Structure 1
Amino acid sequence: MVSSDLRGAMDGTGAPTAVIDLGAFDANLDALADRARGLPIRVASKSLRVPAAIERALAHPAYSGVLAYSVPEALHLHARGVRDIVIGYPSLDKQALARMFAEVGACTNITVMIDSVAHLDIIDAVRDSLADPPADAGPVSVPTAEEPRTTPEPRTTQPNPAEAAAASVRVCIDVDASFRLAEAWMGDRFHIGSRRSPIRDENSAVALARQVAARPGFDLVGLMFYEGQIAGTGDAGRSARQAIVRRMQKASIAELAKRRAAVIAAVREVADLEFVNGGGTGSFESSAVEGTLSELAAGSGLFSPGLFDGYTHFRHRPAAFFVTPVVRRPAPGWVTVFKGGFIASGVPGADRLPTIAWPPGLEYSGLEGPGEVQTPLTGPGVEDLRIGDLVWFRHAKAGELAEHFNEFLVVSGSTVVESWTTYRGEGLVL
């Protein structure tokens, strides 16, 4: 899993350190493109959080546009020259929305996500505050798009706030794609998947679409569906639980295809949609052939974190790691490495722990696990490790690793060829 060339490239490097295997990253770009069956792939930037990695993906002919996490992230990418950005989650960040109105071209290139009229009200409130500031407020000022959100200065006065506020806002509706067994009788009591949106069927989608269409200053341009119960749930294994997961996913794929087609057809009667987004790294096979989507979304598959070891229908190459040195040999059969407690979000469990990628056979201590300062390890081969040797790990999820490091060292073959700064390294708070 971790080649001798990759390990050799890190000899003598200070640690803990985050590492990207460039060959594996590029192979994953191609693998996702093959699985997409001709549909363009929108890069889910939250799953990378490394601008150079996002830009490398966008340079590939199969990838087009970004699915961002927040308005500050979208503006950060827009300032770097990225265009066609869809923000995947609704925003209540009024300061960031004001910056979006102020940034030249941002409203043209950025699409915001909604699932409620309340989200439109928030945007309108920001628009109104720019167009008609209080008489004693002085000049309207907003941070520059390049400025990190955590830095209050410098600030730039908006020369024409009324013109900025007049810009039309591009809107995408987030439609719930979760699976509910016997929904007509049980409602959402049997709910599997992400609880993302109250918009679930063609009636609720059309009602919100009509609200957008009737409201000045908004253009409905897209729909988004994220089927987390398929894309984000591993199906590998022989246990009874995994057999149930596979049956659930098969039923969910069939149910969603029918419901999604009905929602899209109904909303197209109200608005001329530019795109319909769906899927995720784990659901390309079903999403690509469904026939309802104009594009797919993926990001995690480019890094291939530990959770992706639990899928049967695809296998990408691990491309993102962190390495940390052995700093102690506290007892026979044990070593201790520095740090390593990078636990993934989600329901707590063993699958949220970093995967020990090399040396093979190492295990965590059942009483300590991966720790904030130290991580004891045991298992076959531990006696071959010396003080200063590096142990390699993979985060359970993809983009969250970037929250712990300012940069990734990028390895090609057996050589460190670049360093790629993370959002954290650039001062961006998502």
Structure 2
Amino acid sequence: MEFCRRDDGRPLPVAPFRRGVSPPARALAAEDFARLSRTLRQQWSGRPCAVIDLERLDHNLRCVRRHLRGLPVRLVVKSLPSIELLRYAATALDTQRLMVFHEPFLAQVQRALPGADILLGKPLPVAALRHFYRRTEGVDDRRIHWLVDSRERLQQYGQLARELGRRFSVCFEIDVGMHRGGLGSPAELAPLLDMIEGEPALEFCGFMGYDPHVAKAPPLIASRRAAAEKSKRRYRAFVQEYLQRYPGRSVDNLLLNGAGSLTYREHLRQSPVNEVSLGSCLLKPTDFDDPQLAELLPACHIAAPVLKCWQGLDLPYLRPLSRLFSHGRQSLFLYGGRWMAKPVHPRSMRPSGLFGLSSNQQLMTVRKREKLRTDDYVFFRPTQSEAVLLGFGDLVAERDGDIEALWPVLQQC
């Protein structure tokens, strides 16, 4: 794959995805966290970190590959915000398709993975496009598909393409039920297609319709299945409108992107899309604990060192009463805190509502029976990957009790 080669053709060192290894049968248990804590004490720098469990990531990749049954997949960069993590997942899923939401990420991905086919996941200000082309060399415009949501944005993109002497590939964002913008009805297609026909600097490539609302359908209003079918009907209406305008053309040449981690399985049959986007489900943060993803395992945790540990709870101004609030618990002050994450190990760990939260030294309490000491690690599951993983520096890729690799994260600016 081009993903796995340098610009000069030499292979890149990529941690191997293990296709033949039997998947683990369970999520991490107490003994696994204890082993991981020992590994980090021995092999890590003593800072909080985001740990990628490669065994469980491999399991998730195998599951998703089996689910897709050959349907092409586009990896969402903001959910897997590391070039090496993207390479790892892309190799396992046999894809070079990426979805990017942030101009600095686009510049980094384009330089590191020049063979990638990139679809923008949201319409960017035209100033962001100008900045991207100003600082990025060797851009192949056929491999970047800019997302357009309105006539005004299409005009802006066309003007910039002419100024730069380029030909932009543009994809229309369509509203399939989420109501977050994009073209609201097929009737809005005609004027935009007229503009493209009269603008040699623009080329239409397809549609993108994101449908996370399907997974959140209120049961009293609509079933998940009914919501999915309604969303797909809306998508088909746009495609049919396009084909009616150009009866000699085929959908085979269009980019028809849809879905997300929570809904990709809705598109495995009778769907208008010819590719699905996903990313978060491969790491499965808590926001993706969904029945359709029950087979997948949490593959990412935040690990934080214990800085201070003592019995009971010692409250400012209320020291004489602190024993009443201790409830047989011990106090832990952590290196860092206040993450978008939920405590998972020790199982009895929780924040103190009396002491409050801190991003510097978070107080957590655990039952007295927990055998913890200073410099041990405690663990959290992030609620999402896209915002959380960028805050720890290199991702720690761990397997079988050893740190196998350190994967730098993308830079936000």
Shorter-chain TM-score above 0.5:
yes
| Unmatched segments (≥5 aa) in structure 2 | 1-26, 313-328
Matched, 1:17 2:4: no
1:363 to 336, 350, 356: 350
Q: Secondary structure at the match of 2:87?
A: helix
Query: In the aligned structure 1, how far is the partner of 2:387 from the partner of 2:369?
Result: 28
Structure-2 change in CA distance of 1:305 and 1:261 (3 Å):
same
Q: CA deviation at 1:52?
A: 0.5
1:8 to 38, 42, 57: 38
**Structure 2 counterpart of 1:265, one-letter code:** Q
Q: Report what 1:189 is aligned to.
A: none
**Structure 1 counterpart of 2:117, one-letter code:** D
Matched, 1:302 2:334: no
Query: In the aligned structure 2, how far is the partner of 1:321 from the partner of 1:251?
Result: 35
**Structure 2 counterpart of 1:322, one-letter code:** I
Query: In the aligned structure 2, how far is the partner of 1:312 from the partner of 1:51?
Result: 28
Q: CA deviation at 1:381?
A: 5.8
2:147 to 106, 113, 117: 113
Q: Is the contact made by 1:406 and 1:422 (CA closer than 8 Å) also made in structure 2?
A: yes
Query: In the aligned structure 2, how far is the partner of 1:125 from the partner of 1:44?
Result: 28
Q: Is the contact made by 1:86 and 1:112 (CA closer than 8 Å) also made in structure 2?
A: yes
Q: Secondary structure at the match of 2:116?
A: coil
TM-score normalised by length of structure 1 = 0.76
Matched, 1:92 2:72: no
Q: Report what 2:262 is aligned to.
A: 282
| Structure-to-structure mapping, 1:250-329, within 5 angstroms | 250-270=225-245, 273-312=253-292, 314-329=294-309
Please say which of residues 388-397 and 73-82 is displaced more in the overlay: 73-82
Percent identical across equivalent pairs? 21
Cα deviations across residues 198-219 of structure 1 (Å, max 9, x unaligned)?
Answer: 4122212344333333322111
Structure-2 change in CA distance of 1:170 and 1:312 (3 Å):
closer
Q: CA deviation at 1:48?
A: 1.2
Q: Is the contact made by 1:40 and 1:294 (CA closer than 8 Å) also made in structure 2?
A: yes
Q: Report what 2:316 is aligned to.
A: none
Q: Secondary structure at the match of 1:280?
A: coil
**Structure 2 counterpart of 1:283, one-letter code:** T
Q: CA deviation at 1:39?
A: 0.7
CA RMSD between the two structures: 2.4
Q: Report what 2:84 is aligned to.
A: 52
Q: Report what 2:185 is aligned to.
A: 201
**Structure 2 counterpart of 1:409, one-letter code:** V
Q: Secondary structure at the match of 1:119?
A: helix
Q: CA deviation at 1:243?
A: 4.4
Q: Is the contact made by 1:94 and 1:122 (CA closer than 8 Å) also made in structure 2?
A: no
Query: In the aligned structure 1, how far is the partner of 2:367 from the partner of 2:193?
Result: 59
Query: In the aligned structure 2, how far is the partner of 1:414 from the partner of 1:19?
Result: 12
**Structure 2 counterpart of 1:342, one-letter code:** W
1:341 to 338, 341, 356: 338
Cα deviations across residues 167-192 of structure 1 (Å, max 9, x unaligned)?
Answer: 210000011122xxxxxxxxxxxxxx
2:205 to 203, 211, 221: 221
Query: In the aligned structure 1, how far is the partner of 2:103 from the partner of 2:346?
Result: 41
Query: In the aligned structure 2, how far is the partner of 1:390 from the partner of 1:296?
Result: 37
Q: CA deviation at 1:313?
A: 5.0
| Unmatched segments (≥5 aa) in structure 1 | 132-164, 179-192, 236-241, 344-353
Q: Report what 2:105 is aligned to.
A: 73
**Structure 2 counterpart of 1:341, one-letter code:** R
Q: Is the contact made by 2:99 and 2:121 (CA closer than 8 Å) also made in structure 1?
A: yes
Query: In the aligned structure 1, how far is the partner of 2:94 from the partner of 2:279?
Result: 13
Q: CA deviation at 1:369?
A: 5.7
Q: Report what 1:400 is aligned to.
A: 387
Structure-2 change in CA distance of 1:205 and 1:197 (3 Å):
farther
Query: In the aligned structure 2, how far is the partner of 1:368 from the partner of 1:288?
Result: 49
Q: Report what 1:422 is aligned to.
A: 409
Q: Is the contact made by 1:9 and 1:415 (CA closer than 8 Å) also made in structure 2?
A: yes
Matched, 1:177 2:176: yes
Q: Secondary structure at the match of 1:103?
A: coil
TM-score normalised by length of structure 2 = 0.79
Structure-2 change in CA distance of 1:207 and 1:331 (3 Å):
farther
Query: In the aligned structure 2, how far is the partner of 1:299 from the partner of 1:374?
Result: 31
Query: In the aligned structure 1, how far is the partner of 2:219 from the partner of 2:39?
Result: 41
Please say which of residues 100-109 and 220-229 is displaced more in the overlay: 100-109
Q: Secondary structure at the match of 1:60?
A: helix
Q: Report what 1:186 is aligned to.
A: none
Q: Report what 2:194 is aligned to.
A: 210
Q: CA deviation at 1:281?
A: 1.1
Please say which of residues 306-315 and 62-71 is displaced more in the overlay: 306-315
